Amino acid sequence: MPERDGEPNVGIPADGVPSEEAVRQERKQYDEGKTVKERIYETALTLREPTPVSVVAERTECTPESARRHLLWFAEIGIVEPVGEGQPAQFQRNRAYFWWKRANEARRAYSSDELDARLETLLESDRAYQEQYGVADPAQVSAFDIADPDHHGALEAIWSDVNDWLTVREDQRVLEHAQRLQREQHSAPA
């Protein structure tokens, strides 16, 4: 059996994909001592697409009624949002909430000057990508138009750049929102 750092890779199947039982055991250890509400919250953070209450209940090992009650409460405070109407009830994470949360955390963590400096660094990165690829937006980059389709390393490098560029753009929006939140805080009456 191959070893890494002197320890055998016990329990890792040859194809690298853990069994459902191994995943269940890992989840059980991870969830030990957590309340249903905590398990549902952690699961709600992963709901990037509409997910039925029954699936959330199964993942968190609780009743569908309990999952629904907690998801409705999380919807009230903006963490998730109900999707569609009818049955089965479905929820997904509220991207706007997490975007606001990141901006609010940045507003608290950095001074106005620090936000300005971080934003300027991101703007410089954005301009560098625009120059490098000759387009104004990462969505306009086509790796297959730039690199030989048979040269996988070059394609992966371009895709990596595009992902980094998208992250730069997302971080820009977050910091710009953080700046607005700071301005609102300073202009609000005490």
- Please report the pLDDT score of residue 12 as a whole number: 61
Three-state helix/strand/coil letters over 101-142: HHHHHHHHHCCHHHHHHHHHHHHHHHHHHHHHHCCCCHHHCC
Q: Which fold has domain 3-93?
A: Arc Repressor Mutant, subunit A (1.10.10)
Range name among 29-43, 99-113, 148-162, 171-185 with the lowest pLDDT average: 29-43
Render pLDDT for 101-125 as a digit per residue (tens, 0 to 9).
999 999 999 999 999 999 999 999 9
- Please report the pLDDT score of residue 47 as a whole number: 94
Q: What is the mean pLDDT of residues 134-145?
A: 93
Q: What is the mean pLDDT of residues 162-173?
A: 95
- Please report the pLDDT score of residue 5 as a whole number: 47
Task: DSSP letter for 15, please.
Answer: T
